[in-house]
Amino acid sequence: MKIITGSDLRKMRKEAGLSQEKLAEKLHIARSSISKLERGQLELRVSDLFRWMNVTQSQEYVAAIILGIDVGILQQALGMISTMPTLVGMIGGLL
């Protein structure tokens, strides 16, 4: 299992289109703490990771990191899973 790094946090923030200031405001922490977390100078608590992930809508990215797989592969698998109920319903309707 890979650990979430400061560069991962920065990528999540930037992909969400948030400045450090805006993310700090949404997380109710100091902008300097955002900077320190992204540079690896402050330890990331699990509760902060969940809040960061939710604010930046990065759940799939974090899951992919934790599972050690490419986020594109995870998104593809989730897409396939999400269509399964439809396929099962269609097959059931044919029977």
Six token digits for residue 70: 């490419």
**Structure pTM?**
0.74
Rounded Cα–Cα distance for residues 50 and 59 (Å): 9
Mean pLDDT over 72-79 rounds to 83
Rounded Cα–Cα distance for residues 64 and 53 (Å): 12
pLDDT tier at 51 (50, 70, 90 boundaries)?
very high
Is pLDDT at 48 greater than 60 in this prediction?
yes
Tell me which of 80 and 6 has the higher pLDDT.
6
Six token digits for residue 40: 């690896």
Neighbouring CB atoms inside 10 A of 13's CB total 21
Rounded Cα–Cα distance for residues 72 and 50 (Å): 21
Q: Are 18 and 56 in contact (CB under 8 A)?
A: yes
